[in-house]
Amino acid sequence: MPELLVLRPLTDEEARHLQSLAHGQKGEARRRDRARICWLSHTGHRISEIVAIVGMNDKTVRRWIGRFNAQSLVGLRDTPRAGRPPTYTPDEIGTVIATSLTKPDDLGLPFGSWTLDRLAAYLAEERGIAIKRSRIGEVLQAEGLRWRTQETWFGERVDPAFAEKRGRSSPSTKRRLTGVL
């Protein structure tokens, strides 16, 4: 039979915070559920009763009471999880962002604007950061920057009289009425 586990005595401040976390509507639901487990234990409920009330298993309820007893309110937060370490350091990410915001002319490059391919090539050759163009796009988007494609001849015409000089694009195209009716 598992040994008896009860919540340690609380200070007035801990009790106030724990109660507001357990009964509050703001904040993370996971943290609220954990606080509720501890609050129910504080108010005298047994582990089996808490399991029935919150709908979690015995092991989970015991874990959160034990963590609260050891770490107080801090124990109710999520702990860092294991996973793949970041591929690029914060310095490398900063270099990618700073380079993308710098005009290529200022770096002595023979072109006037960046493309993702040019940026990836420059970072690999000059800065030693091997990064794919798709990852550059993700980094810039995460930073709140939008990649703008280069303007082409589809933009506004340089010659204001271009439409008149060009004429109608096709004999079947109807003329557009201009002026006020």
Residue-wise pLDDT for 86-119, tens only, equals: 889 999 999 999 999 999 989 999 988 888 999 9
Does the residue 156 lie in any domain?
A: no
Cα 114 to Cα 32, 71, 105, 125, distances in angstroms: 48, 51, 10, 15
**Same structural domain, 69 and 94:** no
Look at residue 129 and give its three-state secondary structure: coil
Tally of domains within the chain = 2
Does the residue 82 lie in any domain?
A: no
**Same structural domain, 72 and 105:** no
Percent of the chain with pLDDT over 70: 82
CB 7 within 8 A of CB 65: yes
Does the residue 114 lie in any domain?
A: yes
Q: Of 53, 76, 99, which residue sits at a domain end?
A: 76
Does the residue 118 lie in any domain?
A: yes
**CA–CA separation, 120 and 130 (whole Å):** 7
Does the residue 158 lie in any domain?
A: no
pLDDT at 168: 66
pLDDT at 28: 86
Does the residue 175 lie in any domain?
A: no
Does the residue 147 lie in any domain?
A: no
Res 53 pLDDT > 90: yes
pLDDT at 81: 83
**Same structural domain, 56 and 28:** yes
Res 158 pLDDT > 70: no
Q: Quote helix, strand, coil % in the chain, to nearest 5.
A: 55, 0, 45
Of 23, 44, 42, the residue nearest 33 (C-alpha): 23
**Domain region containing 108:** 90-142
**Same structural domain, 64 and 104:** no
- Count Cα atoms within 13 angstroms, Cβ side, for 73: 14
pLDDT at 150: 53
Of residues 115 and 4, more confidence is placed in 115
Which tokens belong to 69? Answer: 């007893």
Does the residue 35 lie in any domain?
A: yes
Q: Which residues contact 48 (CB under 8 A, 6 or more apart)?
A: 58
Res 148 pLDDT > 70: no
pLDDT at 71: 93
Q: Please state the pTM of the whole predicted model.
A: 0.49
**Same structural domain, 71 and 98:** no
